[in-house]
A and B are shown apart, each in its own frame.
Chain A
């Protein structure tokens, strides 16, 4: 069974540009979560999608947005990139069940803004 896949692995953008990050969940998982992991700041929750809808959003500006497609894959878009957006962006997926299943993470996309 394929795990959570993220693409690209690395992305280098110039300040002011837009970045698009992609995530394919494990087959059968309907929930997708996006996290930002900047150096020294731990895991910062960005977005949660389930069944194609945004369920929850972290404390990030509107230039961070995303969507979930009918096949449950997801896309994270970051507009008007700033230098401090440089981070590892992690995607995770989970089953549509409450509580104790936990998440399965992808390997992340390393975004560097120069």
Chain B
């Protein structure tokens, strides 16, 4: 079985500061990992994904994430936060089988302070 844990349901950073959103996964098979962003009253948008290629994945809006198998982590980072980054962020996991169902974390709400 697979699972995802997002540490910190609320994260607050200052504009220009480093953004670090944590995601740890559990998987008995090689995982595929995703980060999605949800702006208020909108659907989810794919930020980036890891599918067993490069362990450092670059996504949209300056975000990136690094797959660390030894730490079972896939943390999301951005060097400098912008006010427009304020949103809900979700981490999800699946695997390369017939099951296409994503397993979701509970989400992390990012606030960016001026």
**B-binding residues in A (CB < 8 A):** 4, 6, 31, 33, 42-43, 45, 48, 50, 56, 88, 90, 92, 94, 97-108, 110
B46 touching A102, Cβ below 8 Å: yes
Per the bound structure, the CA–CA distance linking A90 and B43 in Å amounts to 7
Separation of A6 and B44 alpha carbons in the complex (Å): 13
CB pair B101 A48 closer than 8 Å:
yes
A99, B100: Cβ atoms closer than 8 Å:
yes
Question: Chain A residues near B97 (CB, 8 Å)?
Answer: 98-99
Report how many A-B pairs have Cβ atoms within 8 Å: 62
Please, could you name 19 A-B residue pairs with CB atoms under 8 Å apart, sorted by A? A31-B100, A33-B101, A42-B104, A43-B104, A88-B41, A90-B44, A92-B43, A97-B100, A98-B99, A99-B32, A99-B51, A99-B94, A100-B96, A102-B34, A102-B49, A105-B36, A105-B45, A108-B42, A110-B41
Set of chain A residues within 8 Å of B98, measured between Cβ atoms: 98
Closest B residue to A97 by beta carbon equals: B100
* Docked complex Cα distance between A27 and B34 (Å): 22
Q: How many residues of B contact A (CB 8 A)?
A: 26
- When the two chains form the complex, which single residue of A4, A94, A105, A106 contacts B100, counting CB atoms closer than 8 Å? A94
Residue of A nearest to B90 (CB): A43
Cα-based distance from A103 to B104 in the complex (angstroms): 12
A105 touches B95 (CB 8 A): no
Shortest CB distance B106–A (Å): 4
- 7 A-B pairs with least C-beta separation: A100-B51, A99-B96, A105-B43, A100-B32, A42-B106, A105-B44, A107-B43
Of A45, A90, A98, A99, the most chain B CB neighbours within 10 A belong to: A99
